Amino acid sequence: MAENETDSNQQVDDKSKLTLIELVGCILLIVALKDLPLFILLFPIGVILLRKKILLLFKSIKKTGEYTLGKMLLFGYIISACIMISIKTPELLSIREKNLTYEEGKKLIEIGNIDEGLTKLESIKDRLKDEELLLYENTLLAIKIRAKENIREIKHFNDLLKSITEEQFLSIEEGNFLNLTPNNDLNKLLSQTLKNNKKIWTQMKLEQLKLEEMKLIVAEKKERQKKIDSHFSYFNGSNKRLVEYVKDRLHDPSSFEHVKTVYSDKGKYIDITMAYRAKNVFGGLVLNSIKAHLYLENNHLEVFQ
């Protein structure tokens, strides 16, 4: 009788253990709670992988009426899933509505109903992605140009002019027009306006080139300084190799005491001067200094006695 009870308990324990596949199912169910699309994709897979354990839990509840930790976790998960669906569903519907409105607005602009199309895009302007917002801004700019507004006061015109590459400008000069909006008439208008402002575009490109050169110089200086700093101690500013050089030549290396290290960037090399104290052959503590040149290209240290 005792053996039968032991076997029965062993079978229950075996059933309660998670197999590798069921463990994967648990992980999928946990990940599924992260987002609704993930939930829709992963929840059914997780349930299929864990179907035996889920059925076992429900049978156990029906049979005993007891709520163990596993059963409570299962119900907790179901409640969490329901809450997540109720929160995420309106968000997904809102995104879908935005996408539909954007496509409708884009189509209206394409067929010539520009004002109506812009109105639709305006209604979702705050939710547009960068590329979508660019289409809206370009279309609005073309309307302002057509209305003879002062385009030089429109920030987006300057941004657009600045973003045009040399290849694109050459294409415009050859009679082509850029695909900036869904409407060809507006594209021609924008392209012609850009072409008429070549002088401003050239000036902008020169300024942009100078700015990029300055950024490059600053980045190179920063990288060089980082490389220089790597040769000096963070704690006392000493150069480790120069310290070792001095210690190797001292009568009593243990008496070495770093005082101060100064350096200056000479371009081809780093000029280093180190002051230190150490005992001489007579045992007296004296102040001394040493000079060296560090060449960053090959890390060569040239010491001057």
Collect the ranges in the chain with pLDDT lower than 70.
Answer: 1-43, 46-47, 49-93
**CA distance linking residue 291 with residue 276, whole number of Å:** 11
Q: What is the pLDDT of residue 7?
A: 47
According to the model, what pLDDT value does residue 150 have?
Answer: 85
Decide if 241 contacts 235 (C-beta within 8 A): no
Cα 208 from Cα 157, distance rounded (Å): 16
Looking at residue 97, what is its pLDDT?
86
pLDDT, residue 257, reads: 96
For position 81, what pLDDT does the model report? 64
Q: 71: left (phi > 0), else alpha (psi -120 to 50), else beta?
A: alpha
The pLDDT tens digits of the residues spanning 15-61 come to 555 566 666 666 666 666 666 566 666 667 766 766 666 666 666 65
CA distances from 167 to 170, 172, 174 (A): 5, 9, 11
